[in-house]
Structure 1
Amino acid sequence: MTTLKTVLITGCSSGYGAETARYFHEKGWNVIATMRNPRLGDLPKSERLRILALDVTKPESITAAVATAGPIDVVVNNAGIGVVGAFEATPMTTIREVFETNTFGVMAVLQAVVPHFRERRAGVVVNVTSSVTLAAMPLAAVYTASKVAIEGFTASLAHELGAFNVRVKLVEPGYGPTTRFAVNGGERMQGVIPKAYESFAQPIFAAFAQPALTTKESDVAEVIWRAANDESGTLHFPAGPDAVALAQASRESRTP
C-alpha cells in the first residue's frame, strides 16, 4: 500500500494558502492547513485535511503544531503580512511586525521542522516570497526587505540542507488578490502616506486597485505544487504571468 505524502502549509485562512491546501488535497495528499485562528472556511471537509492552530510569531504555537502534525514530507511557508507606504512614515513597530511574520516566522517554523527532515534525510522546504524580489516596487521598501531577506536565507539554506537530501525551493508570486494590502492594509496602513507623498502615491495605488490582475491564486498553488515535487536543483519558481515576465527581464538585464 502506497503511503500518502503529507504537507504542512502556513497561512491557510484565505488566499494562496487556502488555495494551496485545496490543490494538494485534490492531488491526493494529506494536508495540514495551519492558521492563527482555526476555521474550516472554504476548505474541504475531509479525513485527509486537518486544520491546526499555528501563529508563526509564537514559538510555543509552532512547537505544538509541529508535534501534533506528526511526520510531514513538505513544509510550505506561506504566512505573510504586508504594508505599503512611505518608509519614513512607517513606524518601527510596524516594520518589526512585518519582519516577525515574513522573515523570523519562516525561520522559526523551519527550526522546528528541519531537524525532523535532517534525521530522516528527506523532506522539502518551500518558502513563498514575492515578485518584489524580482523588480523593485515603489512604496514597498519594508515589505520588500522582509522578502529579500528570505530569498538570501533560502539560497544559503538550500546548500546547507542539500547535504542531508533535503530540497529547498522559493516560490515568487506576482501581484494578485491576496497581495492587495496596498488597498486593504488595515491598521498597518494608517498614516504611512504623508501629504508630501500623496501626488506620488495616488497613481500607484490606483494601479494596485485595478481588478484585472494577472496572478491568480490557482497560479500560485500550481507552482507551489510543482516546486514541492521538483527534484532538480532549481531554486526559483516565479508564479503568475507577471512574475514570470519580471524574472525573465531580470535574467536578461544581467546577461552581458
Structure 2
Amino acid sequence: MKTVMITGCSSGYGLETARHFHAQGWNVIATMRTLREDILPRSDRLRIVALDVTDPSSIATALETSGPIDVLVNNAGIGVVGAFEATPMSYIRKVFDTNTFGVMAMTQAIVPLFRQQNSGVVINVTSSVTLAAMPLAAAYTASKMAIEGFTGSLAHELAPFNVRVKLVEPGYAPTTRFSQNTELSIEDLIPAAYQSFAEPIFAAFAKPVLTTKETDVAEAVWAAANDLSGQLRFPAGPDAVALAAAS
C-alpha cells in the first residue's frame, strides 16, 4: 500500500486531493499549518499532521514521524491579487517563502529519502498563470514560474535515482479562496489609478467561460503520481488544458 504526503490540506485542492487518494486505497498524510481534525474522514489510512512549509523544524518533525513515503505533493500556497506597484515587498517575500522556498525546502528534505529507497515522486502544484500570465498577479505568477523552472531541472537531476518529478497546473477555480491568507485589503492593492483597468478583469473573473473544479486538480495529481512516462506537465481543468494547447 502506497503513501502520499500532501501539503496545504486545510481547504481547496489539497483537501480534495487527500480525499481522492484515500478513496483510491492509499495511505494519506494530510498536512496543514493549522490543524483541522474535522475535515477528513477518520481512518487508519489517514493522518492529519501539522506542517508549516516555511519552518525547517516543522518540516523535519513531520518527515521524521511519517514513515516511508512514496509521493510528495507540494500543494501549499498563498496568493495575492493586486497591482504590483501597491503590493508591499514584505508580502511579496511572504508569497515566495511559501510558494517557492517552501516547495524547495520540502523537496530538499525528502529527496535523500527517495534517493535511498530508489523510488519516489515529487509533484509540484503551480498554476495556469504559468501558461498565460494573468494581470494583477505579478508576484504570484513569478513565484509559480520559479517552481516551473525548478521542477523541469530537478526532473533531469533525479531521474538517475528513479525519482520522478511532475508539475500539475490548475486553472481558475472560483471556489478557491485565492487570497485567504492575505492580510492586505483589495482597496490597498488596487489604487485609484488602476481602477478602470481592474474592473473589467474582476468582472471576467466573476463570470468565467471555463473554470476548474477541485476534483479536476485531484485527478490530475493522481494521474501524475501514477505516470511512468517522461511527461512533466499535467494541466488541470478545461481552462488550463485550453491554455496549454494554445501555448
Cross-structure match for 1:143: 140
Q: Of 181, 184, 187, which aligns to 2:183?
A: 187
Q: Gapped runs of 5+ residues in structure 2?
A: none
Match of 1:159 in 2: 156
2:241 to 231, 240, 244: 244
Aligned counterpart, 2:44: 47
Pair 1:68-2:69 in alignment? no
Do residues 128 (structure 1) and 125 (structure 2) align? yes
1:100 paired to 2:92:
no
Equivalent pair of 2:20/2:219 in contact (CA under 8 Å): yes
Within 2, Cα distance between the matches of 1:63 and 1:31?
Answer: 18
Q: Unmatched 5+ residue regions in structure 1? A: 251-256
TM-score by length of 2: 0.96
- Say whether the 8 Å CA contact 1:83–1:189 is kept in structure 2: no
Quick one: distance in 2 between partners of 1:185 and 1:204? 21
Relative to structure 1, is the Cα distance of residues 118 and 185 closer, same or farther in structure 2, using a 3 angstrom cutoff?
closer
Give SS of 2:161's match: coil
Alignment-derived partner of residue 9 in structure 1: 6
Alignment match, 1:173 = 170
TM-score, normalised with respect to structure 1: 0.93
Instruction: Give the C-alpha shift of residue 207 in structure 1.
Output: 2.0
CA distance in 1, matches of 2:241, 2:210: 14
Structure 1 partner of 2:225: 228
CA–CA distance in structure 2, aligned partners of residues 47 and 212 of structure 1 = 41
Instruction: Specify the SS of the correspondent of 2:81.
Output: coil
Partner SS state of residue 138, structure 1: coil
Q: Considering only aligned residues, what root-mean-square deviation do their CA atoms show, in Å? A: 1.4
Q: 1:59 aligns with which of 41, 50, 56?
A: 56
Q: CA deviation at 1:178?
A: 5.1
Q: Could you tell me which residue of structure 2 aligns to residue 112 of structure 1? A: 109
1:114-170 Cα distance to aligned partner (Å, 9 max, x none): 100011110000000000000011111100000000000000000000010000000
Query: Is 1:32 aligned to residue 29 of structure 2?
Result: yes
Question: What amino acid is the match of 1:77?
Answer: N
Amino acid at match of 1:230: D
- Distance in structure 2 (CA, Å) of the matches to 1:93 and 1:245: 34
Question: Secondary structure of the equivalent of 2:168?
Answer: strand
| CA positional deviation for 1:211 | 7.5
| Distance verdict in 2 for CA 1:125–1:178, change over 3 Å | farther
User: 1 CA distance for matches of 2:174 and 2:23?
Assistant: 22
- 1:254 equivalent in structure 2: none
- Structure 2 letter corresponding to 1:187: E
Amino acid at match of 2:130: T
Distance, in Å, in 1 between the alignment partners of 2:69 and 2:181 is 33
- Quote the offset at 1:238 in angstroms: 0.2
Query: Identity, % of aligned pairs?
Result: 74
Looking at structure 1, the residues matched to 109 and 45 of structure 2 have their Cα atoms a distance apart, in angstroms, of 23
Residues 204-229 of structure 1 show CA distances to partners (whole Å, capped at 9, x for unaligned) of: 11222338762000000001000000
The residue type equivalent to 2:207 in the other structure is Q
Q: Is the 8 A contact 1:177 1:213 kept in 2?
A: no
> Partners in 2 of 1:77 and 1:178 — Cα distance?
20
Per-residue CA deviations over 1:26-77 (Å, capped at 9, x if unaligned) read: 0000000000011123211111000000000111000000111111000000
Aligned residues: 246
